[in-house]
Amino acid sequence: KQEVTQIPAALSVPEGENLVLNCSFTDSAIYNLQWFRQDPGKGLTSLLLIQSSQREQTSGRLNASLDKSSGRSTLYIAASQPGDSATYLCAVGPSGFQKLVFGTGTRLLVSP
């Protein structure tokens, strides 16, 4: 059974810092990996989707990498801003299907 772990569970940084969020998964036979952010009381917003054949994806200040063999992904946020404060979740898609298994999330607080 696939298990997804995110470290750290919570992170507090001053504005402007570059930061890395970690995601690890136990079964490397994945189809894709997706990073989401969730604001309080809201649904999940897709940030980046990495197909299993890819090593990384970039969108603006966000860069996500995937190392299937080691069961790891990282989300790099450059020059963090208070608006980045949210919970970040990673989710892996088992081979051939879209249903995602979610990590428990990292709660990020960026202070002005």
Partner 1 sequence: DARVTQTPRHKVTEMGQEVTMRCQPILGHNTVFWYRQTMMQGLELLAYFRNRAPLDDSGMPKDRFSAEMPDATLATLKIQPSEPRDSAVYFCASGFRSGSYNSPLHFGNGTRLTVT
Instruction: Kindly state whether residue 89 participates in binding partner 1, applying the rule CB under 8 A.
Output: yes
Binding mask of the shown chain, residues 44 to 83, with x at each position contacting partner 1 by CB under 8 A: xxx--x-x--------------------------------
Of 71 and 93, the one with the shorter C-beta distance to partner 1 is 93
Rounded to whole angstroms, the Cα distance separating 70 from 77 reads 21
CB 56, CB 85: distance < 8 Å: no
In this chain, which stretch among 14-22, 59-67, 69-77, 85-93 interacts with partner 1, using CB under 8 A? 85-93
Q: What is the dihedral of CA 27, 4, 85, 36, to 10 degrees?
A: 50
Instruction: Kindly state whether residue 36 participates in binding partner 1, applying the rule CB under 8 A.
Output: yes
